[in-house]
Chains A and B, each alone.
Chain A
Amino acid sequence: MLVELGHFALMLALLVALLQGVLPLLATLGEGRLTWIPLDLRSGWLHLARSCTFVQWALVGFAFLVLEWAFLHNDFSVAYVVEHSNSLLPAPYQFAALWGGHEGSLLLWVFLLGFWSSAVAFFSRSLPLTMVARVLAVMGLISFGFLCFILTTSDPFVRVFPPAMEGHDLNPLLQDPGLVIHPPMLYMGYVGMSVAFAFAIAALLAGRLDAAWARWSRPWTVIAWTFLSLGIGLGSWWAYYELGWGGWWFWDPVENASLMPWLVGTALIHSLMVTEKRGTFKAWTVLLAIAAFSLSLLGTFLVRSGVLTSVHAFASDPARGIFILVFLALVVGSSLTLFAWRAPQVAEGGWVNLVSRETFLLVNSILMCVATLAVLLGTLYPLVIDALGAGKLSVGPPYFNLVFGPIMVPLVFIMVPGSLLRWREAKIKDILPSLVFPGLGACVVSGGLCWAMGHASFGVLAGFWLGAWVALAGVQQMVLRLKRPGRIGGSFWGMQLAHLGLAILVMGVTGVRSFEVERDVRMGVGDEVQIADYTFRLLGLQDVKGPNYEAVRARVQVLKNGQQIKLMLPEKRHYYSSAMPMTEAAIDSGFLQDLYVSLGDALPGNTPQWSLRVYYKPFVPWMWAGVLVMVLGGFLAALDRRYRVKPSAASAEDDVSPHVAHA
Chain B
Amino acid sequence: MKRRFFLIPLALFMGLLIFLGLGLRHDPHEIPSPLINQAAPAFDLPTLTSDQHFAPKDYLGRVWIFNVWATWCVACQAEHPVLVAFAKSSGLPIVGLSYKEIQPQDEEKTPLSLEAKLTLARLRSRVWLGRHGDPYQLSVLDLDGKVGIDYGVYGVPETYLIDAQGVIRYKHIGPMSSEILANEVLPLARSLQKGA
Contact = CB atoms under 8 A, between A and B. Distances in A.
A308 B22 CA distance: 12
Contacts of A328: 17, 20
Given A336-B10, A339-B9, A339-B10, A301 B26 contact: no
Contacts of A318: 24
Contacts of A294: 13
Contacts of A523: none
B24 A340 contact: no
Interface in B27-46: 27-29, 31-32
B20 A325 contact: yes
A343 B7 CA distance: 10
A357 B16 CA distance: 34
Contacts of A336: 9-10, 13
B28 A337 contact: no
A321 B24 contact: yes
B10 A333 contact: yes
Nearest to A307: B23
Given A336-B9, A340-B10, A306 B19 contact: no
B3 A307 contact: no
Contacts of B26: 307, 383, 386-387
Contacts of A305: 24
Q: Which range holds the interface residue count of chain A?
A: 20 to 34
Interface centre among B16, B24, B27 (most CB of A within 10 A): B24
Given A307-B24, A325-B24, A383-B23, A344 B2 contact: yes
Interface centre among B7, B10, B23 (most CB of A within 10 A): B23
A611 interface: no
Nearest to A321: B24
A359 interface: no
Contact of A301 (B6, B14, B20): B20
A411 interface: no
A386 B23 contact: yes
B130 interface: no
A129 interface: no
A296 to B, nearest CB: 15
B19 A387 contact: yes
A545 B122 CA distance: 39
A264 to B, nearest CB: 12
Interface in A232-289: 283, 287
A476 interface: no
B17 A387 contact: no
B91 interface: no
Contacts of B195: none
B19 A380 contact: yes
A309 B28 CA distance: 6
A387 B7 contact: no
Contacts of A283: 6
B19 A392 contact: no
Nearest to B16: A380
Nearest to A373: B12
Contacts of A391: 32
A322 interface: yes
B21 interface: yes
Nearest to B32: A392
A412 interface: no
Contacts of B20: 301, 307, 325, 328, 383
B26 to A, nearest CB: 5
Nearest to B5: A344
Contacts of B17: 325, 328-329, 333
A541 interface: no
Contacts of A29: none
A17 to B, nearest CB: 25
Contacts of A384: 19, 23
A322 B22 CA distance: 11
A297 to B, nearest CB: 11
A453 to B, nearest CB: 41
B19 A337 contact: no
A171 interface: no
A343 B6 CA distance: 7
B14 A308 contact: no
A593 interface: no
A179 interface: no
Given A325-B17, A383-B19, A386-B23, 11 more contacts: A287-B9, A294-B13, A308-B28, A316-B27, A325-B21, A336-B13, A339-B6, A339-B10, A340-B6, A344-B6, A383-B23
19 contacts: A287-B9, A290-B9, A301-B20, A306-B28, A307-B24, A307-B28, A308-B28, A318-B24, A325-B20, A333-B14, A336-B10, A337-B10, A339-B10, A340-B6, A340-B7, A344-B6, A383-B23, A384-B23, A386-B26
Q: Which 3 pairs show the lowest CB-CB distances between chains A and B? A: A387-B22, A336-B10, A383-B23
Interface of A: 283, 287, 290-291, 294, 301, 305-309, 316, 318, 321-322, 325, 328-329, 332-333, 336-337, 339-340, 343-344, 380, 383-384, 386-387, 391-392
Interface of B: 2-3, 6-7, 9-10, 13-14, 16-17, 19-24, 26-29, 31-32
